[in-house]
Amino acid sequence: MNIAATPVVEADQTVYLKDYQKPSFLVESINLDIQVYDDHTNVNSTLVMKRQTTGDLVLLGRDLELKSITLNGQQLSEHEYQLDKEQLVILNAPDAAILNIDVVIHPETNTMLEGLYQAASDLFVTQNEPEGFRKITFYPDRPDVLSVFTTRVEADKKFPVLLANGNLIEAGEVGADRHYTIWQDPTKKPAYLFACVIGDLAVLKDRYTTSEGRDVALEIYAEEKDIPKCHIAMEALKHSMRWDEEHYGRPYDLDNYMIVATSAFNMGAMENKGLNIFNTSCVLADEEFTTDAAIMRVQSVIAHEYFHNWTGNRITCRDWFQLCLKEGLTVFRDQSFSEDLQSAAVQRIDDVAVLKAHQFPEDSGPLSHPPRPDHFVEINNFYTATVYEKGAEINRMMAMLLGKEKFRLGTDEYFKRHDGQAVTVEDWVAALTAGSGVDLSAFLTWYNQPGTPKLEAKGEYDAVAQTYRLSFKQSLKVHAKYPNLKAVPIPVALALFNAETGEQYNLQSVALIENGVKDGMYLFDQDEATIEFTGVTAKPVVSLLRNFSAPVNLDFNYSDEALAFLLQYETNGFNQWQATQTLLERILLDGHNADIYIQAIKNTIPNIVEKDPLLASRLFDVPSEGYLGSRIDIDYSPVKIQEQRNALLDTLARELGSFCKDTYLALDPDLQKEFSQAMGVRALKNIMLSMMARQGDSEAFDLAHVQYSNTGNMSERLGALRVLVWNDAPQAEAVLQDFYRRYKDEALSLDQWFMIQAAHPNATEETIQYLTAHADYDLGTPNRIRSVSGGLNANPVNTWSFGVQHFVDLAKYLDEKNPIMGSRLLQALTRWYTLAEPQRGEVKQALEALQPQVKSKNVVETLNSMLSI
């Protein structure tokens, strides 16, 4: 018999929620002394620990050189503790233990961007969520151990900036060349929120007075040349602080709030207490260098990290299974914040688009897991769309069901009960229930089950009786690891429209008392149910899941006419968009005729352009090839999807005719007063421009070239560049060179230059080779990697041909250097099993060939799951 030599993750590496146990020791305080040198860093720590339950004193630590350890003043010898690759166990520890530990670490060679690492020649930063602190020193590195941190940071004076969490209590010199600072954070916190920064950075300063009258110093640290690009982030920070006071009654609690920007960062940003560390891509914003979408993202990430101060930091997670407690709630909060910054309908459209493009596919494939999983091997693999985005949807459903006032009573109760604690999803739902007086416990099922529920609905109109019946049915795909799936509460926001007049029925008068619909909302919480409306005087068109009131797959037998009707008459902008998406999906995947869509869009757009140009632009969204592919579970042919989508775009361009040029020429973003309106006009103009190019209009390239040259705005410049490059216009080479010259020293703008070329529909293996061999390509900067692989992945035809080796090679390389990134990038290939043969077999082979070559828990777990289908 042949026993496969593939490395499987050993069973004992899996952690289970059901095995949770309280920590045996608590840490009352920790004193850290971090001394950074060019070729090593010394970390000395003093932990004051108290026994809480029986059990060993366990400190976690990884890649640390242990120099010395004393317990209550006594040096420990090697037989008094056990040390392995993961932990240090003190044998027979007394109930009160003061430990003093010396270790040496190497941030200067740490490429994983986790723990303390050198992010640039003149910058050291930390990233400790979820389990990075154990790479700095030995510690009970788990979120339910909260402590008071005092931190001394010492380094050469060539690093003038020495930061840590909390208040600066002392600063001074050490000899001629070195200096130090001491910081004290008054709030107890888990180690994952610890941060320090050592570097040479400039700073933008501002102040904010809280509702309680606290005067807070605000500081954003970045490279000198980038300081002018920090103003939008600073405004967003102050706005967020006010917003949390007004909407949740949560003022800020320290005297300073610092943000540090670095390009060496795996994710968007990190909410370390009072000292956020940000990817530059989520801080730097300036119309000249940054696209409108990226500016919106900066504002939402600033808000996100700020909101964590209450939902995540003051109240944290008991264990990492509860990650969506802080992330789901904080994403919901930042989404709500962003709805106030721009067209609320468009914010919802964009959030749902992300959910459907990433979370739905994730949840239908081999990486599917509940928002709160019950086991994992590597927690870093669970910072997923499901935990973040579906987690946010669960909170949105509960908030919507309660309404503003009751939801506020619920969150007030949560903060009152749990401030200063490490809690669970159950605690959150229980507090909401107690505060609001509405039992929400059924929503726990949403947290605990994987998969996107399918919601089947059927409508039946009886013209004689003037009744309209709606019947619902819900179901979930069977999941091997999570049997016993139950029905979930699905809030269905709905409206009825008179198909003849286009008017909306007033549900109060139309709805039957006792049909369960209140304020346009029906809570469907059974396997099946039927409701009936009476007094429906003419045939209705029903609009379901308004504003996407639940994260489900709706199956409703709409006619194309009814969808076109909703596009024109629905008053909810999100559902107008949803109607266009459903209609386009049918045209694309089921071969329906496009005429109805074209007519409806021509009727609708002129009315919307004035009011909400951004919404108008979204109504031209054509589902991406990637999204369309994710809707296909078997015999998926990327090439076929590309052909169908191109054919649709050609039809649209042809049928829209002169509408494109007329609209393009009529619109001027500079005439708009509001940023969000101007952003809409720019978006719409760029779409019109690409349609004109598709029409073969020779003027399109000239207009694009003028737009490229005459603007000082990145969305306009990039929109024009895209049209020229992707259509291989005669001017393409020259503008690419020009763009490079303009932005070669602006890393984030240069990312766009890489991205646009990698995302060329006709990019080839050579294109990718050229980009990855370019002098400005850098495997140490996740943003740069993502610009190429993300660009490549914009075209599934390319992903699934030469892209396969690109992603496999990346995962192999990063497995050792940066396994968090390796695992994430590999996930581009998750849906390999849906491909038609022979591609399916080829990708499978490439993945299997990778298996024996990778070692990190991150990549191994992801790869094993991907292949387990």
* Residue pointed to by tokens 């950074």: 36
Whether the CB-CB separation of 564 and 599 falls below 8 Å is answered with: yes
Q: Out of Zn ion, ligand TRP, none, which partner does residue 269 contact, by CB within 5 to 8 A per kind?
A: ligand TRP
Which range touches ligand TRP (CB under 6 A), out of 125-133, 255-263, 431-439, 484-492?
125-133
Q: How far is Cα 36 from Cα 198, in angstroms, rounded to an integer? A: 8
Q: How far is the CB of 127 from ligand TRP (least distance, A)?
A: 5
596 is a contact residue toward ligand TRP (CB under 6 A):
no
Residue 269 binds to ligand TRP (criterion: CB under 6 A) = yes
Q: Is 798 helix (H, G, I), strand (E, B) or coil?
A: helix
The minimum distance between CB 135 and ligand TRP, in angstroms, equals 12
Touching ligand TRP, residues 289-308 (CB under 6 A): 304-305
With contacts defined by CB under 6 A, name the span among 36-44, 123-131, 401-409, 469-477 that binds ligand TRP: 123-131
378 belongs to the binding site for ligand TRP (CB under 6 A):
no
Min CB(33)–ligand TRP separation in Å: 25
State which residue, 269 or 660, has the beta carbon closest to ligand TRP: 269
Q: Confirm or reject binding of residue 383 to ligand TRP (CB under 6 A).
A: yes
The DSSP H or E segment spanning 148 is strand 147-156
* Cβ neighbours of residue 3 closer than 8 Å, sequence gap 6 or more: none
For 677, the token pair is: 């309106």
Tokens of 535: 């007094």
In whole angstroms, give the CA distance from residue 315 to residue 326. 8
Q: Find the DSSP H helices in 711-795.
A: 714-726, 732-743, 747-758, 765-773, 782-792
**Nearest residue (CB) to ligand TRP, 134 versus 586:** 134
Nearest of 266, 126, 248, 136 to residue 193 by alpha carbon: 126
Under DSSP, the state recorded for 31 is E
Q: Minimal distance in Å, beta carbon 190 to Zn ion?
A: 14
Dist. CA 90–CA 79, nearest whole Å: 10
CB of 867 to ligand TRP, least distance (A): 24
For residue 796, the 8-state DSSP code is H
Kindly identify the residues of this chain, within the stretch 807-846, that bind ligand TRP according to CB under 6 A.
820
Kindly state whether residue 266 participates in binding ligand TRP, applying the rule CB under 6 A.
yes
The answer to whether 305 is a known catalytic residue is yes
395 binds ligand TRP (CB under 6 A): no
Q: How far is the CB of 330 from Zn ion (least distance, A)?
A: 5
| Nearer Cβ to ligand TRP (367/820) | 820
The one among 32, 47, 93, 129 contacting ligand TRP by CB under 6 A? 129
Distance CA 130, CA 117 (A): 15
Report CA-CA distances (Å) from 343 to 399, 545, 680. Answer: 20, 19, 9
Residue nearest to ligand TRP (CB): 267
Tell me if 271 contacts ligand TRP by CB under 6 A.
yes
Give residue for tokens 């696209």.
291
Interaction partner, residue 380 (Zn ion, ligand TRP, none; CB < 5-8 Å by kind): ligand TRP
**Structure-block tokens of residue 616:** 């108008």
Among 267, 283, 295, 689, binds ligand TRP (CB under 6 A): 267
In the complex, least distance from residue 301 CB atom to ligand TRP, rounded to whole angstroms:
8
User: For residue 691, with 0-12 CB atoms within 10 Å meaning exposed, 13-18 middle and 19 or more buried, which class applies?
Assistant: buried
Distance CA 557, CA 187 (A): 55
* Minimum CB distance to ligand TRP smaller for 516 or for 790: 790
Helix (H) or strand (E) holding 149: strand 147-156
Residue closer to ligand TRP, measured from CB, 294 or 641: 294
Helix (H) or strand (E) holding 448: helix 444-448
Per rule CB under 6 A, is residue 794 in the interface with ligand TRP?
A: no
Minimum distance from residue 422 beta carbon to ligand TRP (Å): 15
Q: In terms of CB distance, is 314 or 631 closer to ligand TRP?
A: 314
Half-sphere exposure of 56 (CA within 13 A, CB side): 12
Rounded CA-CA distance 284/665 in Å is 31
From the list 219, 223, 305, 393, the catalytic residue is: 305
> What is the nearest approach in angstroms of ligand TRP to the Cβ of residue 130?
6
Q: Cα–Cα distance between 579 and 656 in angstroms, integer?
A: 19
Specify the pairing of strand 517-518 against strand 521-524: antiparallel
Stretch that binds ligand TRP, among 18-26, 78-86, 122-130, 796-804 (CB under 6 A): 122-130
**Of 67-75, 258-266, 323-331, 716-724: span binding Zn ion (CB under 5 A):** 323-331
Is residue 851 within 8 Å of residue 812, measured between CB atoms? no
Judged by CB under 6 A, the residue of 185, 327, 362, 532 near ligand TRP is: 327
Stretch that binds ligand TRP, among 63-71, 234-242, 263-271, 614-622 (CB under 6 A): 263-271
For 380-525, strand residue ranges (E) read 422-423, 454-462, 467-475, 490-493, 495-498, 517-518, 521-524
Among residues 106, 99, 107, which one has the least CA distance to residue 138? 99
What x/- string results for residues 64 through 103 when contact with ligand TRP is judged by CB under 6 A?
A: ----------------------------------------
Q: Does 270 bind ligand TRP (CB under 6 A)?
A: yes
Q: Residues in the site for Zn ion, rule: CB under 5 A?
A: 327, 330
The catalytic residue positions are 305
Q: Residues in the site for ligand TRP, rule: CB under 6 A?
A: 127, 129-130, 266-267, 269-271, 304-305, 327, 380, 383, 820
